[in-house]
Amino acid sequence: MARAEKSVRFVPFASELAELVETLDVLDRLSRTLPPADAVPYAVQAAWLKENLSGWQRKAAVCEALSSDALAALTRDIQDACNVSARLRLCGELLERDGRRVLAVPANPWAPFGGLDELLEGRFGSEDIGVEAFAGEIESAAFNLFNLGGAPLYIRMEKPTLTGPDGTERPAGDAVTVREAIPVPTEMGDASADALPELNQGSVIVIPPMDGRQAYVEIDTKGLEPGAWTLSIRCRALSRDTAETILTVPVTVWPHKLPERQTLGLCHWGYVHHSFLSDQPEAALEDQLRHGTSVFVCTFAPKATFDEAGNLTGPPDYSEVDAYVEAHRGHGIILFFNYQSYLKGPAPIRSEAWNRACVAWLRAWVEHMKARGLDYREWALYPVDEPGLHPGLVELHIDMARLAREADPNILIYTDPVGDASLEDLQAMAPYVDIWCPNRTGIVLKPDSAKLDFLKATGSDVFVYECLGNVKHRSALAYYRGQAWLCAHHGFKAMGFWTYCTSQYDPWFNSGEPDYLLVYQGKGVVPSKRWHAVRDGIEDHGMLTRLREAADQAGNDPSRADAVAKARDLLDRRIAEVARFCGLEDDGEIPEVGGTRRQRAVEDRRWRTLREIRRDMAALLGRLAAP
């Protein structure tokens, strides 16, 4: 039987060079038809392409004979030319078509901002751009602002207004905060539009020619009545020949309110007193509380000394502890970390004399806390960080906790074991633990759930924490907001992230060191997108709790049986779906194959899922309301 054969000849760089030839014609035309103020870059690029194209074509025709270095240089030159020319062509054709230098595109606030790459990807906005919030929530929107012209644009974002359900327009005031997403260097050597400072004193965003910036809008619904609102922001360039643009955001406030008491705790090891926020502790605390922080790690303890026999030489010095407690009490629980280092004397830690002094010291400390009106549930001891990370830490925790139990069995004891702590280690620690905070990757997400099952079975409170680096690239919806849903899925009482501000490095810069920080310093605390996502996750948890309570209360009402069944399905299946964002689904938490372009598509999918579930929650809360 005859077999047909066909030969195919591959021509290196053929498609790229053909694209450049076509683009050259377009750039040449744009250089003649656009206004003179905008035409210069097109003329320059067209002239440069004319000068170089023939040389690239000659080299491409004999590329098999080129050295590896010459071939790499040719590849780089052609790719750079394609990238620059494509951006110019896109801007020029949009400017030619619409005659407007400013292009405002509604954006997913949680997708990594890509500048003009987003337009090249066809991301010209979505109809589903509205903000939807349960009463009392803070939610976000974003607009990508592009300068299609050939000179910098200074865009003034004039005072936002809100039009309410009754049609009345009013100044937005404190309900709306406009920020700019600032690209900051990351540990990977690139940049991420992660920092969110408020706009400057003049509310002006500067957009370089043929480039983009992202305006990020934060909407606080606490003072807004339920119903349909419209947010409007007038954008005007500081030039005579550029038309104004009105940014509009539909805002829906659902009537169901956040619980008055926060349902999920938050810890982040923010040692403000020796961080880049040390000069503004009040602002840092206000920011932490606004984002839901309720577990505070304190590195102070009463200073005390003892003699050779293990007797305290005098009353402990509580000055540093009292100052910290006074600032943070009433906002959650205080964890006293590495407290044992504050007890000093002639004998080493864990010696007989030291142990005797420790018991007396802890008893005095308990009485002092009682005298200041603190309940046992308002503080805990945190003797060892991450038992299992190094040999001996499990045993050190047990030794320190055993002394605390001897001093007063009501003292709460906290621990945060990592994956290298064995099941036997956890079992040995269990009599000396009141609050477990296992590592997410090392314990909670493991296919073998024996360790997690054991922690849950102890009856102690269970938190969860994570401390992976490269955070400026980590998904706000998966790594941060998703962890709250992971907590709802497992019944964890709090979540944690390393770290709010604890680092020797300045978060605005990076020379290759690991990124962990949630905020930046400025005039006050500058949040990140990720920090806002943490707060949003806590709010999600609160409304999931309300839905669970509503379903339980309506459980015996036949007229609401269908709504109860749908609510319980959401609380089971859909919570698990979002919890999988948090380290369990195939799409990761950082850009992988396909880079940030693919990650934008992933975050779009995640955002659609979250919005769909939240809409279902609002509808079910309405159906479950008492008739």
Q: Which of 29, 148, 31, 13 is nearest to 82 (CA)?
A: 13
* pLDDT above 80: residue 3: no
Q: How far apart are CA 378 and CA 186, in angstroms?
A: 37
Say whether pLDDT at 11 is over 80.
no
> pLDDT for 106-121, tens place per residue?
999 999 999 999 999 9
Q: What is the mean pLDDT of residues 470-479?
A: 98
pLDDT of residue 9: 46
Report helix, strand or coil for 9.
Answer: coil
CA distance 574 to 12: 49
284-310 confidence digits (pLDDT tens):
999 999 999 999 999 999 999 999 999
| Of the candidate ranges 4-13, 133-142, 617-626, the one whose mean pLDDT is the lowest | 4-13
Q: Measure Cα distances from 88 to 28, 35, 122, 161 in Å.
A: 11, 15, 15, 35
- When the pLDDT of each residue in the chain is averaged and rounded to a whole number, the result is 95
Q: Which of 75-89, 124-138, 183-197, 563-577 has the lowest mean pLDDT?
A: 124-138
Q: How many CB atoms lie within 10 A of CB 455?
A: 26
329-333, 423-427, 586-590: segment of lowest average pLDDT: 586-590
Higher local confidence (pLDDT), 242 or 503: 503
Query: Which part of the chain is CATH 2.60.40.10?
Result: 102-257
Rounded to whole angstroms, the Cα distance separating 210 from 146 reads 7
For residue 356, count other CB atoms closer than 10 A to its CB: 17
pLDDT value of position 127: 65
Q: Which of 33, 24, 501, 122 is nearest to 277 (CA)?
A: 501
> Rounded mean pLDDT of 196-201?
96
Q: Is residue 324 a contact partner of residue 271, using CB atoms and an 8 Å limit? A: no
* Residue 190 pLDDT > 60: yes
Question: What pLDDT, on the 0 to 100 scale, is given for residue 541?
Answer: 98
Across the range 316-337, mean pLDDT stands at 98
Q: Helix, strand, coil: what percent of the chain each, to 5?
A: 45, 20, 35
DSSP notation for 578-593: HHTTTTTSSS-SS--T
The pTM assigned to this predicted structure is: 0.95
Q: What pairing do the DSSP bridges indicate for beta strands 379-382 and 333-337?
A: parallel
| Structure token digits, residue 134 | 């349960």
CATH of domain 102-257: 2.60.40.10
Percent of residues, the chain, with pLDDT higher than 70: 98
Q: What is the pLDDT of residue 1?
A: 44
Q: pLDDT above 90 covers what percent of the chain?
A: 93
Run of H or E including 325 = helix 319-328
Looking at residue 593, its pLDDT comes to: 79
The whole-number pLDDT of residue 8 equals: 42
Strands annotated E in 354-410: 379-382
How are beta strands 211-220 and 227-237 bridged, if at all?
unpaired
Peptide bond into 499 cis (omega under 30): yes
389: left (phi over 0), alpha (psi -120 to 50) or beta: alpha
pLDDT in tens, 433-470: 999 999 999 999 999 999 999 999 999 999 999 999 99
